[in-house]
Amino acid sequence: MTRPGVLVTGGARRIGASISRRFGQAGWHVVIHCCHSWGDAQALADELPSAEVIRCNLADGDAALSMIADLAGRLEDWRALVNSASVFRPDDVMALDVGIEWEAMQVNAVTPAMMSQAYLRRARSEAGRRVIQVTDQKLANPNPDFFSYTLSKHALAATIPMLAMAADPADRIYGLAPGAILASHEQSEDQAEATHRLNLLGRRTGAEEVADAAFFLAAGPLASGQTLFVDSGQHLLAQPRDVMYLAEKEDSAR
């Protein structure tokens, strides 16, 4: 294997799929992680010059560590880990649902942290290794909606400066914080179009922009420990609710 390798968790669908395509088009060997989307993952792998699919439930930390160990043992130039997979379930800021909270913290924060540690210990790359934690613009623009999800993304974001301080100088740890990009839950495309323009630029940010940012972080010269926001300025606003609900409120007021 002479190509640089990248593992993209949740790499079969949505933003993860765009990230997988971007690396594949640049000539990297893409390991597309999935849990339930095997068909989508395999179809995407078939499109790319060099790709494979690996299945793992990130709620199972031991299985995730075994996945890292397997890849570290056979990828000669494993240059990047993109922790993109996440669960995004609505819950009440005033009534914590323990099940939703546990799943969000495990899948979105604990397992990615463990995977990052194992990757930095075991993966081989003479060019240096890159960890990219996909967080959310909600870090800078919080609201009460999707409580457990938001907590988990704050926990994931906390790994970035700490890992950057402890990592080998040749390695770099980054955050990538998208805004509202794709339709969520039961949104129609028309609703998503209106929702995703609620930012400073009044434009819809594309998944390809997030993918370009991920590739820049993996291949570019940015100093370790930084986070890129790709959200058309949404994180610079103060929004009282998730934009999905703000758009619904505007529709009902008309």
Dist CA 149 CA 198 (whole Å): 20
Residue 79 contacts residue 126 (beta carbons within 8 Å): no
pLDDT at site 145:
95
pLDDT score for 253: 47
- 124, 102 in Cβ contact below 8 A? no
- Give me the DSSP letters along 234-252: GGGS--SS-HHHHHHHHHH
Give the C-alpha separation, 47 to 23, whole Å: 12
Structural domain boundaries, residue 207: 5-253
DSSP readout, 5-41?
Answer: EEEETTTTSHHHHHHHHHHHHTT-EEEEEESS-HHHH
pLDDT tens digits, residue range 169-188? 999 999 999 999 877 766 77
Check: CB of residue 127 under 8 Å from CB of residue 4: yes
Angle of helix 14-25 versus helix 38-47 axis, rounded to 10: 20
Q: Which sign does the torsion angle of CA 193, 198, 203, 208 carry?
A: negative
- For the residues of 158-206, what is the DSSP string, one character each? HHHHHHHHHS-TT-EEEEEEE-S-S--TT--HHHHHHHTT-STT-SPPP
Report the candidate in 145, 178, 147, 95 with the shortest Cα–Cα distance to residue 245: 145
Per the CB < 8 A criterion, the answer to whether 136 and 148 are in contact is: no
The domain tally of the chain equals 1
What does residue 78 show for φ and ψ, rounded to 5 degrees?
A: -85, 95
Neighbours of 166 (CB within 10 A): 11
Angle at 71 between CA 135 and CA 167, to 5 degrees: 55
pLDDT of residue 251: 54
CB within 8 Å of 79: residues ≥ 6 apart: 4, 5, 6, 28, 125, 127, 128, 129, 130, 218
Amino acid at 42: Q
Per-residue pLDDT of the chain (254 residues; tens, 9 = 90+): 689 999 999 999 999 999 999 999 999 999 999 999 999 999 999 999 999 999 999 999 999 999 999 999 999 999 999 999 999 999 999 999 999 999 999 999 999 999 999 999 999 999 999 999 999 999 999 999 999 999 999 999 999 999 999 999 999 999 999 999 877 766 777 878 888 899 999 999 999 999 999 999 999 999 999 999 999 999 999 999 999 888 665 555 45
CA dist 159 and 211 (Å) reads 21
Which CATH number fits the domain that encloses residue 15? 3.40.50.720
